[in-house]
Amino acid sequence: MRDDGKCALVTEGLTKRYGRREVLSDVSVSVAPGERVALLGHNGAGKSTLVRLVLGLLRATAGQISVNCHRPGSGAARRATAYLPEQVAFHPALTGREHLTTFARLAGEPSSTVMPLLERVGLAGAADARVGTYSKGMRQRLGLAQTLLGRRRVVLLDEPTSGLDPVSRHDVYAVVDEMAANGTAILIASHALTELEARTDRIAILRQGRLVADDSLKALSRSADLPTRIHLTAQAGAADRVQAALGGTRVNGTALELHCPADEKMARLARIAEMGDAVCDVEMTPPSLEDLYRHYCGEELR
């Protein structure tokens, strides 16, 4: 298969069938070292199947996978890969320190790496507490610490912020950013679209087992050609005149909402400026990741 050494994770023509049911169909996606790619799709779109194929837990019906230039499931691929599932399971009778020490030994890391990692994910104060007393968010943090062991080349994260509060979610993505900065290829499967919008380099969207989008957010927005929303606030008594000149939908007594193609934003702003003091406030909202997701997966969402 093609592998130019630039991608830590490559799938080409990946297909998976169970009998006559096709779960994945001809999926080709790659993640380069230091790249953060969001894997999106409705429930049943094939995200989990793709992750299991990369881990070597399933065998593809057709197509090829390269994990750091190795076959998935091989010893070399396993050593290069870390995986954080949505539902992390640890033995409740062991402490966080004991768990991570065991994983460090398996990864060939010295035990001296354990406490710094627990500190990095905010678990230093609970290092010697039994995991059975941990909250779901704390178990998720312990799982994240495990992915940091061994300097993995490929990291697969499945709903990494599940069960976490807003501050903890920010901390998780700070760790993700650090891993990417160190050259780790990161694939994040998640439904938390608002989080992913500013935290990933590329968006890959699966729909009924097929890859329907794979590009940067900016490029996908340009390709989808979704409108920009413009929210105007008119001066008291001027809303009728503003609407007559600009069109749009009346939201309340003084507000209007307009929609315009991306390439007409400047022209529309110039027309708004011509209204002078009749308009006292303008807010522009470009298409969000949620808008794009709905565009590419519209049938399932409806």
CB atoms within 10 A of CB 67: 26
Reported residue count of the chain is: 302
Q: Are 191 and 159 in contact (CB under 8 A)?
A: yes
290: Cβ contacts below 8 Å, ≥ 6 apart: 193, 194
| Phi, psi of 224, rounded to the nearest 5 degrees | -75, -25
Written as tens digits, the pLDDT of the chain (302 aa) is 444 457 799 999 999 999 999 999 999 999 999 999 999 999 889 999 999 999 999 999 999 999 999 999 999 999 999 999 988 889 999 999 999 999 999 888 999 999 999 999 999 999 999 999 998 889 989 999 999 998 899 999 998 887 788 888 888 899 999 999 999 999 999 888 888 888 899 999 999 999 999 999 888 988 888 889 999 999 988 999 999 999 999 988 889 999 988 888 899 999 999 999 999 999 998 888 999 999 998 754 44
Q: Are 9 and 54 in contact (CB under 8 A)?
A: yes
Domains along the chain with CATH numbers? 9-220 (3.40.50.300), 227-286 (3.30.70)
CB atoms within 10 A of CB 106: 11
Closest by CA to 184, choosing from 143, 158, 147, is: 147
